[in-house]
Amino acid sequence: MKSRPSRTADPPASPSPGPPRADGAPAGPSGAPSAPRPSPAHDDDTPVYVISIAAQLAGMHPQTLRAYDRLGLVTPGRTSGRGRRYSVRDVALLREVQRLSQEEGVNLQGIRRILELGGQVMMLQAQVRQLTEELAAVRAEAERRVAEAHRSHRRDLVPVDRSAIVLWRPGSRR
């Protein structure tokens, strides 16, 4: 019987927030593995992790993830077979829920409210960015029109001395 050569894990390229785990994966601040970056074809919102991997990355039990899904705290993507798929952003959100619960002592209803308000803040910030861009565009257009008006009328205007202006008021005598 032939034995396979053992593989050694390469050290992480960047320092991780916690000590490496026994299996060589970088650990997060709580000792849980940090979420690996998705491939360039995926972004932070692409659901890629099955529940067992997401639970491991978040340092939780898979049942906890199911409970959070039922409560609407963290809603993962679904496959066509209704299996849960978690994104990098979902894993970060799971960690935040855990931090609020364990370190800050916030109950699940409080966490839900915090997450709702955070979502509203993000939506309002996006709205402010959009309105700021629209305002800048309107200002630029107004400045362009004013400059155009000044260029076209400058030839028609004749400077007049203030003392040369006489106001006529009908019916009044001085």
Q: What is the pLDDT of residues 81-92, one digit of tens each?
A: 999 999 999 999
45 pLDDT tier (thresholds 50, 70, 90): confident
CATH 3.30.70.1400 fits 44-106, yes or no: no
CB neighbour class for 90 (10 Å; exposed up to 12, middle 13-18, buried from 19): buried
- In the prediction, which pLDDT does 136 show? 98
- Confirm if 47 and 77 have CB atoms less than 8 A apart: yes
Cα separation, 60 vs 96, in Å, equals 12
pLDDT in tens, 47-77: 889 999 999 999 999 999 999 999 999 999 9
Q: 62-71 and 88-102 are packed helices; what angle lies between their axes, rounded to 10 degrees?
A: 90
Give the pLDDT confidence of 136-165 residue by residue, as tens digits.
Answer: 999 999 999 988 887 877 566 666 666 666
Note whether 117 and 101 are within 8 A (CB).
no
Residue 87: closest CA among 126, 146, 95: 95
Q: Indicate whether this model's pTM tops 0.75.
A: no
What is the reported pLDDT for 51?
A: 95
